[in-house]
């Protein structure tokens, strides 16, 4: 360790064994001489080593200059974290940090057996780590004695307030001894955190180590424009192209998580999933599989992934666009930690490009727009990885070399190499052939419109579709259909000429092949509209078109005839008019009855028609 004079020797040895050559900026800041014994309000970027930082910060308070803790009776420090995963991660970090000092670290988190936690607290612990709700429960039940506390640490304080833990936090801080140190660590310091610091901290020292370059300067952002029907295939290709040792794919719903987990597992990826329907034990096993390399891809929802720590995460994929810029940065911050580089890929259907741009602008992130990796690019990357595989330059023992020589003598070098390649390809998930999605350029719409007006349309290919004036086709109805079916924009569509029974339209020549592939891939149906290229290449489509509402047909009526589609409105009568109408109607009915009694009606039966016949009694 460089400059270890401010660190307890036993902790310095633990850091060296863990591979620390130097401390991070926030770790250096919290052990500076001016921090000794003071309350701290620290803002630091994600992945900067905050857990080790507050471990170093509280060491003078709970351990002093001694190298070994005394008997564990009452807890001396309490760490509060927003999620159980983060609390377990903190416990794991502090366990190795205070391991040589014989420190006992206990955890109290939701989802675990509270009786086992109560027994662990009864046996004694130097540091207790937990979530707000479970800690409060143990305090109220008498399982956690706070009287010996010398320090309270709030980790990710802003998230705890966002999650609605204010009441629990205030209860814990009010219960803790007044003479204590209070350390708050937060990625941001909004007004709510400042107000809490003023209430519960004394003369707090404000420390900020957030880089001016921003919290995500070690992350390479890539926005990948894809056809809407190619989202899942694009994710497969991104995973194959980067071949990351560990990756996480964020989805919007647990149904999406289940579907992608099933599909990717069937394709040969080693996958685990995280969603709200999993038990704590299942979540723990899934995260452990990622940490020890048994799984390389984690598919998760936003809520389920809060607070998790996956060391060395290389790739983050947004299968669905985040709801806002804060969620985007929170997701992406899983990679690019502790000085390591990371890649963040946003899968953007070209119909949602504007929304993606607003998200990126709100997050103030620089991003490179491109198409998703193609099958050919992945094959080229596979070849490059094979040629530079470290296994080819590794030294092997005599037994392995002897077997290799025997294989070469028996089968020949080419046959052995081909078998090796075949086995490698069998163990690798295959990439997908993607539709070509348009890659937009960042130009203003007004400038694009002016450019289109100035420049001729250029070479084009004519197509026709079975919809014309007879079907009440109009350009405003047809253009969105053409764009959606062919995965093109209106810039690639030229003239639209509507005939009686069919419509002709032109597509730019350079986009015609992509248009044909997209329309063909969309499927077909019994009542589908048929699109054909005039030269003869055909592509059929699609049930959805027939479900679209077409413009209403003009009404056909003769002179003086009311339209059936628009019934005539009735005039509103006054009350006097209504009463007069009722009287006239009653008078007319009375006159008709009188006339019927006086006037004989000979309907072929003469006077018999006026004679009332008696009713027959039932026999």
Looking at domain 456-547, does it have CATH number 3.30.70.330?
yes
Residues 6+ apart with CB under 8 A from 610: 600, 601
Q: What is the average per-residue pLDDT within 34-55?
A: 87
CB 286 within 8 A of CB 273: yes
The residue among 566, 525, 521 whose CA lies nearest residue 545 is 525
Residue 295 tokens, joined = 């799984």
| Residue with tokens 């995460």, as numbered in its chain | 313
Q: What percent of the chain has pLDDT over 70?
A: 80
The confidence score (pLDDT) of residue 543 equals 38
Decide if pLDDT at 345 tops 70: yes
Nearest to 437 by CA among 223, 184, 131: 223
The domain locations on the chain are: 4-208, 219-379, 456-547
Please tell me the predicted confidence (pLDDT) of residue 559. 44
Question: What integer pLDDT is reported at residue 572 of this predicted model?
Answer: 57
C-alpha closest to that of 336 among 184, 211, 159: 211
Mean pLDDT of the 100-109 span: 94
pLDDT category at 116 given cuts 50, 70, 90 is very high
Is residue 487 within 8 A of residue 438, CB to CB? The reply is yes
Question: What pLDDT was estimated at residue 554?
Answer: 47
CA nearest 370: which of 403, 400, 345, 388? 345
Pairing of strands 315-318, 247-251: parallel
Look-up of token digits 């004695």: 145
pLDDT, tens digit (0-9, with 9 covering 90-100), for 300-341: 987 766 667 777 889 999 999 988 887 888 788 778 766 678
379-423 pLDDT per residue, tens: 899 888 888 877 777 788 888 888 888 888 888 888 888 887 877
Query: What residue ranges in 19-165 does DSSP mark as E strands?
Result: 40-43, 77-80, 105-108, 127-130, 151-155
Residues belonging to the chain: 619
Is residue 619 scored above 70 in pLDDT? no
Tell me the fold of 4-208. Rossmann fold (3.40.50)
What's the confidence (pLDDT) of residue 597? 60
The two three-digit tokens of residue 197, written as one number: 């610091």
What band does 591 get if pLDDT is binned at 50, 70 and 90? Answer: confident
* Lowest-confidence region among 221-230, 488-497, 557-566, 586-595: 557-566
Q: Are 42 and 186 in contact (CB under 8 A)?
A: yes
**Which residues of 354-446 form beta strands (DSSP E)?**
368-371
Average pLDDT over residues 106-130: 93
b/e burial code for range 539-552 (CB count within 10 A of at least 16 → b): bebbeebeeeeeee
Averaged pLDDT score across all residues of the chain = 81
- Superfamily of domain 219-379 in the CATH hierarchy: P-loop containing nucleotide triphosphate hydrolases (3.40.50.300)
Confidence band, pLDDT 50/70/90 cuts, at residue 537: very low
**Over 90: is that where the pLDDT of 114 sits?**
yes
Q: Is the pTM of this model over 0.75?
A: no
Average pLDDT value for residue range 461-490? 84
Q: What is the pLDDT of residue 523?
A: 56
Lookup: tokens for 409 = 């003598």
Where is average pLDDT lowest: 9-23, 251-265, 535-549? 535-549
Weakest-pLDDT range from 3-7, 81-85, 126-130: 3-7
User: What pLDDT score does 560 carry?
Assistant: 45
For residue 598, what pLDDT band results from cuts at 50, 70 and 90?
low
4-208 against 456-547: fold identical = no
Residue with tokens 């005539």: 568
Tokens found for residue 325 = 């810029």
Lowest mean pLDDT among 36-45, 91-100, 152-161, 527-536: 527-536
Q: Look at residues 160, 158, 159 and name the one whose alpha carbon lies nearest to residue 168.
A: 160
CA distances from 79 to 125, 140, 311, 440 (A): 12, 17, 21, 49
Q: How confident is the model at residue 542 (pLDDT cuts 50, 70, 90)?
A: very low
Tell me the per-residue pLDDT of 69-91, one tens digit each, with 9 for 90 and over. Answer: 999 989 999 999 988 888 988 99
Q: Residue 613: what pLDDT?
A: 40
* Neighbour count for residue 438 (Cβ, 10 Å): 18
Write down the residue that tokens 């006026």 correspond to. Answer: 610
Q: How confident is the model at residue 305, as a pLDDT?
A: 67
Report pLDDT for 402. 85
- For 150-172, what is each residue's pLDDT tens digit? 999 999 888 888 778 999 999 99
257-287 per-position pLDDT tens digit: 999 999 999 989 999 998 878 887 888 888 8
Under 8 Å between Cβ of 547 and 464: no
The stretch 281-299 carries a mean pLDDT of: 89
pLDDT recorded at residue 41: 94
Residues in CB range of 303: below 8 A, 6 or more apart: 276
Retrieve residue 434's tokens.
């993607």
Nearest Cα neighbor of 81 from 197, 184, 212 is: 184
pLDDT, average across residues 537-550: 41
Q: What is the CA radius of gyration of the chain?
A: 38
Average pLDDT over residues 372-377: 91
Mean pLDDT of 580-607: 62
Question: Could you tell me the CA-to-CA distances from 475 to 68, 115, 445 in Å, in that order?
Answer: 81, 71, 21
Residue 601 has pLDDT above 70, yes or no: no
Model confidence pLDDT, tens digit, residues 166-220: 999 999 999 999 999 999 998 778 888 889 999 999 989 999 876 544 556 678 8
The span from the CA of 616 to the CA of 619, in Å, is 9
Maximum distance among all alpha carbons in the chain?
134
């Amino acid at each position: 360790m460089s400059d270890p004079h401010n660190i307890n020797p036993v902790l310095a040895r633990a850091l060296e064994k863990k591979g620390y050559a130097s401390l991070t900026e926030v770790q250096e800041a919290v052990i500076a001489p001016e921090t000794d014994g003071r309350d701290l309000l620290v803002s630091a970027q994600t992945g900067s080593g905050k857990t080790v930082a507050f471990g170093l910060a509280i060491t003078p308070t709970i351990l002093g200059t001694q190298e070994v803790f005394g008997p564990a009776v009452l807890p001396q420090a309490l760490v509060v974290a927003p999620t159980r995963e983060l609390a377990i991660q903190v416990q794991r970090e502090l366990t190795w940090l205070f391991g040589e000092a014989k420190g006992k670290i206990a955890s109290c988190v939701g989802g675990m057996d509270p009786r086992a936690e109560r027994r662990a607290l009864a046996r004694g612990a130097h540091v207790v780590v937990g979530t707000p709700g479970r800690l409060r429960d143990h305090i109220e039940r008498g399982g956690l004695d706070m009287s010996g506390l010398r320090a309270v640490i709030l980790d990710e304080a802003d998230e705890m307030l966002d999650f609605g833990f204010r009441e629990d936090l205030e209860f814990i801080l009010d219960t803790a001894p007044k003479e204590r140190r209070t350390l708050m660590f937060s990625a941001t310091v909004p007004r709510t955190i400042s107000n809490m610091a003023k209430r519960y901290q004394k003369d707090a020292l404000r420390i900020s180590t957030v880089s001016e370059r921003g919290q995500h300067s070690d992350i390479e952002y890539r926005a990948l424009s894809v056809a809407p029907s190619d989202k899942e295939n694009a994710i497969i290709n991104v995973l194959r192209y980067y071949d990351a040792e560990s990756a996480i794919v964020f989805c919007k719903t647990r149904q999406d998580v289940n579907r992608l987990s099933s599909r990717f597992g069937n394709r040969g990826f080693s996958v685990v999933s995280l969603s709200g329907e999993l038990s704590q034990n299942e979540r723990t096993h899934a995260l452990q599989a990622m940490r020890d390399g048994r799984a390389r891809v984690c598919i998760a929802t936003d809520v389920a992934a809060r607070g998790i720590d996956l060391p060395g995460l290389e790739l983050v994929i947004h299968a669905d666009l985040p709801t806002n810029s804060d969620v985007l940065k929170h997701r992406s911050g899983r990679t690019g930690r502790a000085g390591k580089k990371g890649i963040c890929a946003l899968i953007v259907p070209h119909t949602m490009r504007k929304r993606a741009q607003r998200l990126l602008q709100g997050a103030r992130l620089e991003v490179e727009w491109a198409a998703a990796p193609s099958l050919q690019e992945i094959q080229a990357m596979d070849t490059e990885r094979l040629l530079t595989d470290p296994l080819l330059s590794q030294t092997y023992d005599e037994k392995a070399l002897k077997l290799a020589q025997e294989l070469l003598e028996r089968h020949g070098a080419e046959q052995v190499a081909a078998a090796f390649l075949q086995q490698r390809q069998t163990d690798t998930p295959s990439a997908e052939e993607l539709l070509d999605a348009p890659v937009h350029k960042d130009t203003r719409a007004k400038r694009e419109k002016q450019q289109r007006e100035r420049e001729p349309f250029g070479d084009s290919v004519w197509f026709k579709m079975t919809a014309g004036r007879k079907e009440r086709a109009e350009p405003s109805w047809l253009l969105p259909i053409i764009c959606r079916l062919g995965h093109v924009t209106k810039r690639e569509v030229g003239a639209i000429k509507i005939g009686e029974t069919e419509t002709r339209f032109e597509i730019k020549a350079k986009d015609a092949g992509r248009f044909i592939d997209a329309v063909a891939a969309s499927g077909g149906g019994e009542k589908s509209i048929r699109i054909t290229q005039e030269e003869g290449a055909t592509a059929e489509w699609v049930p959805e078109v027939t479900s679209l509402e077409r413009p209403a047909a003009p009404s056909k009526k003769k002179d003086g005839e009311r339209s059936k589609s628009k019934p005539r409105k009735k005039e509103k009568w006054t009350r006097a008019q209504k009463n007069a109408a009722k009287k006239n109607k009653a008078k007319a009915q009375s006159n008709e009855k009188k006339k019927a009694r006086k006037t004989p009606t000979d309907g072929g039966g003469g006077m018999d028609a006026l004679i009332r016949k008696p009713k027959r009694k039932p026999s």
